[in-house]
Amino acid sequence: MKRTLGGRSVKAIGLGCMNLSHAYGPPLPPTQGARVLDRALELGYDHFDTSRLYGGGRNEDLVGRVLKGRRDRVFLASKTGIHVADGRRWIDCSPAAIRAGLDQSLTALGVDHIDLYYLHRPDFTVPIEDSVGALADQVRAGKIGAIGLSEMNAQTLRRAHAVYPVAAMQTEYSPWTRNVEIAVLDTARELGVALVAFSPLGRGALCGTLRDPASLVAGDMRRDIPRFQPDHWPRNLVLIDRLAALAGEAGVSAAQLCLGWVLSRGDHVHAIPGTTRLDHVAENLARADWRPDADLVARVDALFDPEAISGGRYPPVLQAQVETEDFPG
């Protein structure tokens, strides 16, 4: 089943490439990362999502090498705005930074055109109108095909869309992270904007295979996320195990249930699960056309009522860099 993204028809499930180079412990050796991407292409994935941030550019380098000679097979998305250097992380979505970041991404990817280019986070020091205006200039220059935003709220989406049509809003969305249901999901539908769900499997938690986050390797960002920590994890694990039971009743894996649930939220919704494992690349796409029935959707909704989730989705420093509406408490 295909859906529209940036004016193109692509499969509703794409591949989030971050895990191969960033955030969840040591990056895969490039040869192993290339095998994951090659397998995704063999299986028919046609939407790859990367960012200048991931691995300090290594992820774009990897994606570019794998796509060499096969660029036309993939709808290619990347992002700019988050910068890391000398142990410091900051946001810069000024027009000058956007232009410089885009040129770096084009060079790393080995392409002259990126299909969808996102502002990775809101820059609270630069009006969104200025940032979107700079992106619109790059569309007119032929360097990008469409404009995206990430982790921004419904009001910002409306402001941005009034300057130039926004093709996609990317944000975390899964049964245990439902913030977009406050406003962004419906606003995107109203405006004809795709909602691209990253971490649709709850950063791997909802698959049911992670039993003790203390086993995660040093450098895995999940060790710093509140809902993975000892004060919260046991309560969340109860919900995760109940989700696995629901998936078993439906004859799908927990990951497939999560993906089906996310995609059931609207025809404008896409999902980009990431993985480092070849079997998961196949599993995530194997039931791409399956959707849970209304009763099962309601049971998942009830199980993961936002008030039932223990702990925040980001540590305070990272939470301060997102704008998506949040539930009280």
Distances (CA, A) of 172 to 122, 166, 176, 197, 329: 15, 18, 10, 5, 18
Give me the mean pLDDT over the 29-35 stretch.
Answer: 97
**What single letter denotes the amino acid at residue 315?**
P
3-state helix, strand and coil shares in percent for the chain, rounded to the nearest 5:
45, 20, 35
CATH number listed for the domain at residues 2-204+265-287 = 3.20.20.100
Q: Tokens 């502002």 — which residue?
A: 119
Q: How many CA atoms lie within 13 A of 314 on its CB side?
A: 16
User: In whole angstroms, what is the distance from residue 54 CA to residue 61 CA?
Assistant: 10
pLDDT of residue 84: 92
Confidence of residue 87 (pLDDT cuts 50, 70, 90): confident
Domain parsing of the chain, residue ranges: 2-204+265-287
Q: Among all residues, which ones are annotated catalytic? A: 54
Asked whether the predicted pLDDT for residue 203 surpasses 90, the reply is yes
pLDDT at residue 53 in the model = 96
Q: What average pLDDT does the segment 152-159 reach?
A: 98
Give CA–CA dist 205/201, Å, rounded.
Answer: 7
- In three-state secondary structure terms, 40 is helix
Entry pTM: 0.98
pLDDT for position 328: 86
pLDDT digits (tens, 9 = 90+) for 258-316: 999 999 999 999 999 999 999 999 999 999 999 999 999 999 999 999 999 999 999 99
- What pLDDT shows up at residue 326? 95
